[in-house]
Structure 1
Amino acid sequence: MEVILKEDVNKLGHRGDVVKVADGYGRNYLLPGKLAIEATLANRAVIEQMKGSAIRKSAKEKAAAETLATSLAHVELTFERKTGENDHLFGSVTSGDIAHQLELQGYTIDRRKISLEDPLKSLGEYHVPIKLHREVTSHIKVTVKAEESETEAAPVA
């Protein structure tokens, strides 16, 4: 099945590209998610007209992403998690957790733009990339610390 991408899709293509995908992927993910439209002759003509406006829109998005990237460069997030032996976390810190913390600080960023290959499962300091635009990537500092247990926090007299 051939589709025309309406949005940038990781490892598939950029907005306006005509790509060939498996039928199920197109019907069950791209089309319902409004990420693509079917590549019919009429849609191809519409897309050609939309490419001009898409270039202008992309330039505005890039400028906004660069502004956001400069403000995100100074952001530091700290997560406190319960740990077991050898400082191994119970649970993990995911891209959803990072997106939620950023939202609390006033930055609205989709969790899919946070490029964590695997959730953070150990204590330490990490530099997490955030892909704000196809040409703009910012990094934030994420620190995962051990949560103080109640016995350590309140010594018995």
Structure 2
Amino acid sequence: MKIILTHEVSGLGTVGDVVDVKDGYARNYLVPRGLAIRWTKGGEKDVEQIRRGRRIREIATIEQANEVKSQLEGVKVRLKTRAGDAGRLFGSVTPADIASAIKDAGGPQVDKRRIEVAAPIKTLGAHQVSVRLHAEVAAKVGVEVVAA
């Protein structure tokens, strides 16, 4: 099945790419989650608008990515959340929580879809997350989770 990606999907492509995938993958995963739309002749016209929007939001060069990386790595991110007596959180810390905490700490605006959390953050303490800024540049950000 031919689809148009509306979000970046690891191992498949970036926004605006037209790719062929298995029918079940598109029908059961990509389309329901809003990561892709079905390809049509009319949809092909939308691809250019999607790509234009991506170019505006995206960090275009490696130099820009390195500047943002240095800003991110210089920010001390503290995230207050509810936790139990043993230090376990009620739920977990999401990439959206981390993105807003970076912004509140004085860091640059980061898209939550670019934040990669290796393992779910479910305890208090210091954790490392990766922010994919460019295909070749990723920043490591330290997040300290404290009880509210």
Q: TM-score range by the shorter chain?
A: 0.5 to 0.7
Distance 1:143 1:7 in 2: 29
What is the percent sequence identity of the aligned residues?
29
- Cα pair 1:5 1:19 within 8 Å, conserved: no
Summarize deviations over 1:27-81 as a string: whole Å, max 9, x none.
54302xxxxx7276xx5xx98xx9xxx9xxx883433222211211111111233
Distance 1:83 1:125 in 2: 14
- Cα pair 1:95 1:114 within 8 Å, conserved: yes
1:144–1:106: structure 2 CA closer, same or farther, 3 Å change rule?
closer
Distance 2:86 2:7 in 1: 43
How many pairs does the alignment contain? 134
Summarize deviations over 1:82-122 as a string: whole Å, max 9, x none.
43232222333221111111222252111111101443111
Matched, 1:68 2:68: yes
Structure number having the greater helix percentage: 1
Gaps of 5+ in 1: 32-36, 148-157
- Cα pair 2:95 2:113 within 8 Å, conserved: yes
- Cα pair 2:118 2:129 within 8 Å, conserved: no
TM-score (norm: length of structure 2): 0.68
Over the residues paired in the alignment, what is the CA RMSD in angstroms?
3.4
SS at 2:116's partner residue?
coil
TM-score (norm: length of structure 1): 0.64
Gaps of 5+ in 2: none
SS at 1:133's partner residue?
coil
